[in-house]
Amino acid sequence: MSTAYQQLTALFQRLSRFSHLSAIAGWDMQTMMPQGGSTARGEALAELSVLQHEMLTAPQTAALFAQASEADLNDVERANLTEMQRSWQQAALLPSSLVEAKALAGARCEHAWRTQRPANDWQGFAHHLQDVVRLSREEAALRAAAAGCSRYDALLDRYEPGMTSAQLDATFGELKQWLPDLLQRVVAKQADEPVVVPAGPFPVEAQRELGLAVMKILGFDFNAGRLDVSAHPFCGGVPQDVRITTRYDEHNFISALMGVIHETGHARYEQNLPQQWAGQPVALARSTAIHESQSLFFEMQLGRSQPFLELILPLVKRHLGDRPGLERDNFVRLNQRVQPGLIRVDADEVSYPAHVILRYEIERALIEGECEVADIPALWQEKMQAYLGLDTRGDYRNGCMQDIHWTDGAFGYFPTYTLGAMYAAQLFQAMSRALPQLPALLAAGDVQPLFDWLYQTIWQHGSRFSTAELIARASGEPLNPQAFRTHLEQRYLG
């Protein structure tokens, strides 16, 4: 094995350990840290980002890659070298000063968002967001110049390697042609299917215990992770210590429950990544859309399916009490209800893509300089009205301030949610072909074969294959949005 390759693996092992510390410090900042610690924590995380950046872009690294590329490596090592080289090339495009400035601006914006969102303080938030956007544009310009692509595509590539806005426009354009009609038909159909909404209050501690019980059914390894509370649900940490969060509403237990199921999908993927390659880029999740495909698979394909809802209903009654609205048929209808709303994370799977397309179109225009931060509320209102028929004027808290992603400059992330939904539907179709007994297994409460299939086709491979190859290997074809349409039509109009 190449000495240069060994030196690179040692470097990335060190970087992985620093990333571990950064991830846990970031989790703590969003869950446990007192407000007074924000500035110091932001500075510490920025310092850590600069340290990692300088380690990765040290002058001798280029020579190591040149030598390692000539080495006799096996398939996994070659894939690992490709991922290492990609990380190095991406980092080398940015000066340390920009890395630090962006990390500090993101920490300030995220901290301010926590209080400004509840206060509906758009002007205060916009002040912080302008700095994040300015620095993100600087980053995008540097990356675009090196890659010979648009500024937005350069950021999109960080989350979804190989994807372009041209591909997204085509895929989302097709979706926009048939989704509005489907949404109207489903809403009309369900108007004749009344649903009783269980009345609260639902104590937070009881909801937490319910979430933990469902996580156990879903195979979450509590020896390597935990559940906490944050302002915005997320999955963080590292495969050996996965931290997931949710948020509770004492008048609506479904939101937290489905949030837990969603984040558990992320967590199971992380907990089952290839440990034999731990610390190396090839052991990381393939892409953001693949990550979202796992969480949406858990939440939508599995979590909102009738067999799974019937499986967990006794747990719901045990922890929250048997009350009107928790009858079997009503509970299923309640969780498959389609009703356009303002909040993305609470959206049903039929209207959800509209939330994503709206954000994608705004953030692309923002990065390309076609609009400014001050234009966001009006654009949000225009697109919300056009896509979902909803009014958000003056309601920034439930409109353009509801998400955390833009606070730290995660431009390019949002499209991966709907790509993930499409991949999830495609994977479920493939799984159903491989496991024709799946409905009977789920009805019997046996979910392990489903997880075994995901492990064999997705989880164990980490980043060994490209997204396109991984999906083709698992499902027999590249991305096919028709699977998503078929899934929605069968569940909601069938």
The verdict on whether 263 is a catalytic residue reads yes
Residue 412 corresponds to which tokens in the numbers above? 């390019």
| Residue 73 contacts residue 89 (beta carbons within 8 Å) | no
Rounded Cα–Cα distance for residues 477 and 471 (Å): 7
Rounded Cα–Cα distance for residues 158 and 117 (Å): 27
Nearest to 432 by CA among 446, 415, 453, 417: 453
Nearest to 485 by CA among 299, 357, 350: 350
Rounded Cα–Cα distance for residues 402 and 345 (Å): 9
Q: How far is CA 459 from the centre of its chain?
A: 16
Look at phi and psi of residue 394 and say left if phi exceeds 0, alpha if psi is from -120 to 50, else beta: left
Catalytic residue of the set 83, 110, 263, 299: 263
**Alpha-carbon distances of 287 from 106, 132, 148, 294, 460, rounded to whole Å:** 22, 23, 22, 11, 14
Rounded Cα–Cα distance for residues 5 and 104 (Å): 33
Burial of 44 (C-beta count, 10 Å sphere; 0-12/13-18/19+) = middle
Rounded Cα–Cα distance for residues 336 and 340 (Å): 13
Residue keyed to tokens 């809802």: 309
**Which DSSP category does 279 fall into?**
T
Nearest to 241 by CA among 219, 223, 229, 263: 223
Catalytic annotation, residues = 263
